[in-house]
Amino acid sequence: MLHRLLLLAPLLLLAANSTADTPGQVPGAGLVEFAVLANGMRIIVWPDHDIPNVALYNWVRVGSRNEVPGITGLAHFFEHMMFNGTHTHAPGEFDRMLEANGARNNAYTSGDVTVYQDWFPRAALEPIFALEADRLRNLAFDPEVIESERGVVYSERRLRVEDSHFGKLQEQVQATAFLAHPYGIPTIGWPSDIESWTLRDLKTFFVTNYAPNNCTMVLVGDVDPDDVIALARKYFEPLPEQTPPPPVRTIEPVQRGERRVNVEVDAQTPLLQFAYHALAGSDERWPALDLLARILTDGDASRLYRSLIEEQKLAISVASHIEDGFDPGLAWFFLSLPAGGDLQKAEAAFTNEIERLIKQGVDTRELARARSQALADFWRGLATIDGKAQALGTYAVLRGGHEKLFDTPRLYEQVTSEDIRTLAAEFLRPTNRTVGVLKAGAPQEGRAP
């Protein structure tokens, strides 16, 4: 018996090695199944049997990037309309039927995509497919419902933009940063457009963009890929393919000088926003740009936090956001100042930190810290089936292919200090930025001074 165990030991070791994950790679790449239906709809399935639930994300390739003056905000409007009834189900019935099956749902819209999310027990897979296919095929355009939802969207705009100093300034900076590309259009739409969309506008926009060949459906959870693909063929393949939406051909011209936006409102807290033209989501340098932003703003040890908040006490918060769309988006940096804060000193201190980074680069400890933060966030995102569905869809639609998700840790490990300094020199130059300034203390329009 002992002899047999000794013989088995090397075999077990070999077996273990053959299934071990390659360092720097996300496990599970071999489990993912991909199919394209006859009508062009893409289906991606990642089985994960840890819990008996499923996360379904339907990524529709439509956002404010696909709009023009007069119909701005329509992509976001359909995020709402897709829950408001079909020719076979009354308004509200979609939610009621999902809840009856133990499911929850939500949706969001960006400049590039509109994403519909369902979370449900595995037994509800076929009813969910039936409901999702129904609202793609049979969406109703009831004038009364449209007017009601138009009011809801307008209220959302007031909440997120007009009553938000941060949102108000960001909208102005976004519109100023882009002269030609539709990324300058606010996702929620301009007020006059929200007020004036016509029924014909809505129907044309829906038929053009909500075609199966413009959708990528991602499922992660306790499913068999063969069963999922068979159900997809049953419920989604009968939907007719449409002429693809017209491509966005406009390329934003190179910015040749700093742009500025000044907003004056009755506020207690001054704000500063800096928006630099940067990268598309599929650009291989995206991990380096992410690490650059983290070195500047992620955590108490970040450069801007230490300099502007702890040492100089010019700001009370710093943050950043990197857009990862189909086309080159913006790298944002946000500063909130204390009441009565000095905007000029804060802007100068921010600019000094950017120039210091470009001249001196970053040290290995800073890079290691930022990489650890990025990878920890990445792995944390993959700890749930919901996080996996979000990540898989992001890479499939916006980052150049779902396969790239599984190489992400390796790509972060390969970023060097020189990569970051080079990227900062290329993008974080004053001629490539739009500065937004929100001054506090000014009277609001219509108020007595």
Per-domain boundaries in the chain: 30-237, 259-440
CA–CA dist 390, 41 (Å, integer): 18
Nearest to 43 by CA among 302, 230, 196: 230
State the distance between the two ends of the chain, measured CA to CA, in whole angstroms: 95
- Specify the residue for token string 């497919």: 129
Q: Which fold has domain 259-440?
A: Cytochrome Bc1 Complex; Chain A, domain 1 (3.30.830)
Tallying the residues shown for the chain, one arrives at 449
Whether the domain at 30-237 and the domain at 259-440 fall into the same CATH topology: yes
As its CATH architecture, domain 30-237 has: 2-Layer Sandwich (3.30)
Nearest to 389 by CA among 51, 121, 45, 128: 45
CA–CA dist 49, 406 (Å, integer): 19
CA–CA dist 108, 307 (Å, integer): 35
CA–CA dist 27, 82 (Å, integer): 35
CA pseudo-torsion sign 46, 414, 372, 336: negative
Q: Give the angle subtended at the CA of 439 by the CAs of 438 and 443, to the nearest 5°.
A: 115
Take residue 361 and report the two structure tokens written for it. Answer: 């680069």
User: Would you write out the chain's pLDDT as a tens digit for each of its 449 residues?
Assistant: 333 333 333 333 333 333 335 556 788 899 999 999 999 999 999 999 999 999 999 999 999 999 999 999 999 999 999 999 999 999 999 999 999 999 999 999 999 999 999 999 999 999 999 999 999 999 999 999 999 999 999 999 999 999 999 999 999 999 999 999 999 999 999 999 999 999 999 999 999 999 999 999 999 999 999 999 999 999 999 999 999 999 999 999 999 999 999 999 988 899 999 999 999 999 999 999 999 999 999 999 999 999 999 999 999 999 999 999 999 999 999 999 999 999 999 999 999 999 999 999 999 999 999 999 999 999 999 999 999 999 999 999 999 999 999 999 999 999 999 999 999 999 999 999 999 999 977 555 544 33
Q: Give the angle subtended at the CA of 126 by the CAs of 120 and 128, to the nearest 5°.
A: 50
Q: Where are the alpha helices (DSSP H) in 197-248?
A: 199-209, 225-235
DSSP 292: H
